[in-house]
Amino acid sequence: MTTTFSCLVAYFWRLLTLVVVTAFGLMLMVMAIQVISRYSLGIAVPWTDEVSRYLFLSEIFLGSVLALRYQEHIRITVVTDLLSPSLRRIAALLADLICIAVLVMMMGGAFNMMERTAGVFASTFNMSFSYLYLMQLIAAGLMILLLVEDIINRLRGLEDHNRPDTQPPGSN
């Protein structure tokens, strides 16, 4: 049961990484189409601006989940480096709790905006703006799950834990 669950979790993280990398690659292609068509051919392709915006926001929100998982977010540790290990653990717990509170508020705002923008569509193609806020909602939920895992591990005394299989792809 645990190995099946572990395999599913590992598959989920590989899939999320693939989605983020694909969104990035598609965004680059769409922006290349936009630049080439506008400046080389003199033709404006109106859908490229909105598509690149959707892809960029999806990449940012879902990519931030991966950055949190791999502990790759920027951190300023000048103060916490001066603390004893027990105070450092308390500071990390407080930081995680504050992050969870902010993410819960972000989820509430995203849900509210999903309701408000459900009938608002992109001007150049048939896609609701609510999907942008759905990405934000999903990303915040996943980050909360990761932070709860971190809190549990810290309370167990595993403050310098490494999640299994948490090396960023290509960092061997």
Residue 168 lies in a domain: no
DSSP class of residue 164?
Answer: T
Residues 6+ apart with CB under 8 A from 62: 16, 19, 20, 23, 135, 138, 139
Residue 151 near residue 76 (C-beta atoms within 8 A): no
Tell me, yes or no, whether 79 and 142 share the same domain. yes
52 shares a domain with 26: yes
User: Which residue in 149, 167, 143 sits closest to 61, CA to CA?
Assistant: 143
- Say if residue 32 is in the same domain as residue 99: no
**pTM here?**
0.84
Domain termination residue (choose one: 43, 74, 105): 74
59 & 83 share domain: no
Tokens found for residue 61: 């929100």
**pLDDT, tens only, 145-162:** 999 999 999 888 875 555
Give residue-wise pLDDT tens across range 15-55.
999 999 999 999 999 999 999 998 888 888 889 999 999 99
**Is residue 5 one of the residues assigned to a domain?**
yes
Length of the chain: 172
Q: What is the mean pLDDT of residues 91-120?
A: 95
Residue 124 lies in a domain: yes
pLDDT score recorded for residue 122:
87
Domain count, the chain: 2
**Is the domain of 68 the same as that of 79?**
no
User: What range does the domain containing 12 cover?
Assistant: 1-74
